[in-house]
């Protein structure tokens, strides 16, 4: 059970990072479906830099930078030229998949050393609970702090409330002097940085090697996770761990005594995603969505 919990925490971290960034972007009224592509670009950039320099810190910076660059391209097209956000996001997902595969060809077969636990300084205690709490790498704690920080920002700060107002009614927000396009662009760039970090975590920690399409649909799950959480940062945390547990069922099914075909268990995270969206739709939970989500805005002055 301890191994399952540790694996769940590690598997949930990239989902939590990507979903937290996308939540901020969607709170501003922007729907960026390119999370998968940004994660792949972040993964290959982080792995390439880490392999070249030997520094995972620089790798994470490179991953975040790649995500920001891809998000800036999305912002230019979707916000600057007011193109359809859904189509632009899908194009970004396809673009990121292709470019990451091209760049990563020369890195296939290489591996790096994963990050070590930080709080226990490599010496884990005998208590199982403390081993779980203290035996994680820095990005696990960073992802949790980031989610709580976003909750505080959106619900307790003036700029966070302004961002939510822009997502609910950009026209009125612009009329009272709020910088709608600037705020939306910043939110999209933040989402790109988080997606890049999520991809970097996959290639540097979760599976410390590069493989084409290694995100395996996690970007799409992160998008569904935002809806599943009702656009609430704290609920995103619970959702990320829930979806991670579902994804690990295919590996731990036999250990847990589940006599279910492995093919069915492999479908579990995606079935859980579909089921969650169906339940949310039936319950009317989409009422929590920003009113202008996915709608373009062009200032009249």
- State the Cα angle at 87 between 84 and 93, rounded to 5°: 135
Q: Is the pTM of this model over 0.85?
A: yes
Question: Which residues are bridge partners to 209 per DSSP?
Answer: 111
pLDDT at 37: 97
Maximum Cα interatomic distance, the chain, rounded to a whole number of Å: 65
CA distances from 17 to 4, 241, 260 (A): 20, 12, 31
pLDDT at 298: 86
Q: Between helices 180-201 and 56-74, what is the axis angle to 10°?
A: 140
pLDDT at 257: 57
Q: Give the pLDDT means over successive 10-residue stretches in the chain (301 positions).
A: 85 97 97 97 97 94 98 97 96 97 92 74 70 86 97 97 96 94 97 98 93 92 90 92 82 58 66 71 68 88 58
pLDDT at 147: 97
Of 31, 25, 38, nearest to 195 (Cα)? Answer: 38
CB 64 within 8 A of CB 190: no
CB 216 within 8 A of CB 275: no
Q: Where are the alpha helices (DSSP H) in 169-267?
A: 170-175, 180-201, 218-228, 233-252, 262-266
Q: For the stretch 267-284, what's the b/e string if a residue is b when 16 or more beta carbons lie within 10 angstroms of its beta carbon?
A: ebbbebbeebeeebeeee
pLDDT at 253: 57
**Which residue do the tokens 């390119």 mark?**
34
pLDDT at 288: 77
Torsion of CA 165, 169, 173, 174, to 10 degrees: 140
* Span between the terminal Cα atoms of the chain, in Å: 60
pLDDT at 82: 93
pLDDT at 275: 75
Integer Rg of the chain from CA: 19
pLDDT at 259: 61
């Amino acid at each position: 059970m301890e191994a399952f919990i540790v694996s769940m925490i590690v598997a949930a971290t990239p989902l939590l990072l990507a979903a937290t960034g996308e939540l901020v972007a969607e709170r501003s009224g922007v729907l960026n479906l390119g999370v998968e592509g940004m994660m792949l670009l972040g993964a290959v950039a982080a792995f390439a830099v880490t392999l070249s320099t030997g520094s995972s810190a620089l790798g994470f910076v490179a991953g975040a930078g790649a995500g920001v660059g891809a998000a800036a391209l999305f912002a230019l097209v979707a916000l600057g030229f007011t193109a359809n956000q859904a189509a632009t996001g899908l194009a970004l997902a396809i673009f990121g998949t292709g470019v990451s595969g091209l760049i990563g060809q020369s890195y296939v077969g290489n591996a790096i050393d994963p990050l070590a636990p930080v709080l226990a300084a490599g010496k884990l205690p005998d208590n199982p609970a403390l081993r779980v709490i203290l035996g994680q790498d820095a990005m696990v704690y960073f992802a949790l702090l980031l989610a709580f920080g976003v909750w505080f920002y959106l619900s307790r700060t003036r700029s966070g409330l302004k961002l939510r107002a822009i997502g609910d009614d950009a026209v009125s927000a612009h009329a009272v002097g709020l910088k709608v396009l600037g705020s939306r662009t910043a939110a999209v760039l933040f989402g790109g940085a988080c997606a890049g970090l999520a991809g970097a975590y996959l290639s540097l920690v979760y599976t410390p090697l590069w493989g084409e399409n290694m995100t395996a649909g996690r970007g799409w799950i992160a998008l569904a996770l935002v809806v599943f959480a009702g656009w609430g940062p704290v609920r995103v945390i619970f959702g990320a761990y829930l979806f991670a547990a579902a994804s690990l069922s295919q590996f731990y099914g036999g250990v847990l005594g589940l006599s279910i075909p492995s093919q069915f268990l492999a479908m579990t995270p995606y079935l859980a995603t579909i089921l969650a969206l169906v339940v949310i739709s039936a319950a009317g939970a989409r009422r929590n969505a920003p009113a202008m989500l996915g709608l373009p805005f062009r200032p009249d002055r």
